[in-house]
Amino acid sequence: EVQLVESGGGLVQAGGSLRLSCAASGFTFDDCTIGWFRQAPGKEREGVSCISSSDGSTDYADSVKGRFTISSDNAKNTVYLQMNSLKPEDTAVYYCAADPGEEAGLDLYEYDYWGQGTQVTVSS
């Protein structure tokens, strides 16, 4: 059974930092793409960042470039999203998603499996 479990969300002031974790199980972790997505109230879910576990290639949404960093620890089957210089507009539920055996980007429809999400709230 594929499982993705997010953690690390919380409440932080603008300018602060959080690190999200996505622990994966149930598939071959070293041959997949893991993506982070977010959904704010009343808005569509959008891609934030993704990483290929096989070659480490990454991609970022323009809105987070230079502030967020995605990384992967294949020994722990875990992907991290380090979020710095947080802004109130980063407030959302953050989800990780997996596309096993495929190269994927920031299109949510490319992903087969999803976690339950973790809330990130940035106060002004």
* Separation between Cα atoms, residue 61 and residue 48, nearest integer Å: 5
Report pLDDT for 103.
83
Query: Is the pLDDT at 102 greater than 80, yes or no?
Result: no
Report pLDDT for 23.
97
b/e 22-45 (16+ beta carbons within 10 angstroms → b): bbbeebebeebbbbbbbeeeeeeb
Report pLDDT for 14.
98
